[in-house]
Amino acid sequence: MTTELDRIAYTASVTATGGRAGHARSDDGLLDVDLRPPVALGGPGGATNPEQLFAAGYAACFQGALGVAGRRNKIDTARSVVTAEVSMGPVGDAFGLAVVLDVEIPGVDEATCRKLADEAHAVCPYSNATRGNISVEIRARVAE
């Protein structure tokens, strides 16, 4: 099922050249990065890669969605931490992604963290874009 937007609230525009061993730049110039395949994939490393950029976007977006869930439940999530691990590997003749999201919310128990993480997963745009397409595991952790 394709998700249709009710309205467009924001559009990001990034142009990539040279593929995985190239460059990416946003239309406003705030993102301006070289791209290199990681050493683990036989590349030279030394620059960011698409999986790191996806992980950064997903972690930041999910943390924002966690804030929405926190406000709805009257729980402060301002000091929460979300770490996204994005893995890439073969899927038949193609390649696919898998994501693990580690969620920590200081001051709450594991059950509350899990509840808020599940609610965030329901409203996060990245979660909605990936749902049913790739594996996304959410780990709710007690912050130390």
Sequence-ordered strand ranges (E) for the chain: 14-17, 23-26, 32-34, 81-91, 94-104, 135-141
CATH level 3 topology of 1-48: N-terminal domain of TfIIb (2.20.25)
Q: Does the structural domain 50-142 have CATH classification 3.30.300.20?
A: yes
Mean pLDDT of 115-134: 96
Question: CA 37, CA 92: separation in Å to the nearest integer?
Answer: 21
Helix (H, G, I), strand (E, B) or coil at 37: coil
Question: CA 140, CA 82: separation in Å to the nearest integer?
Answer: 10
Domain ranges of the chain: 1-48, 50-142
Mean pLDDT of 104-119: 96
Confidence label for 3 from pLDDT (cuts 50, 70 and 90): confident
Q: What is the pLDDT of residues 17-57, one digit of tens each?
A: 999 999 999 999 999 999 999 999 999 999 999 999 999 99
Whether the full predicted model's pTM is greater than 0.85, yes or no, is: yes
CA distances, 124 to each of 32, 37, 91, 135 (Å) = 25, 28, 25, 15
Say whether 50-142 and 1-48 share the same fold: no
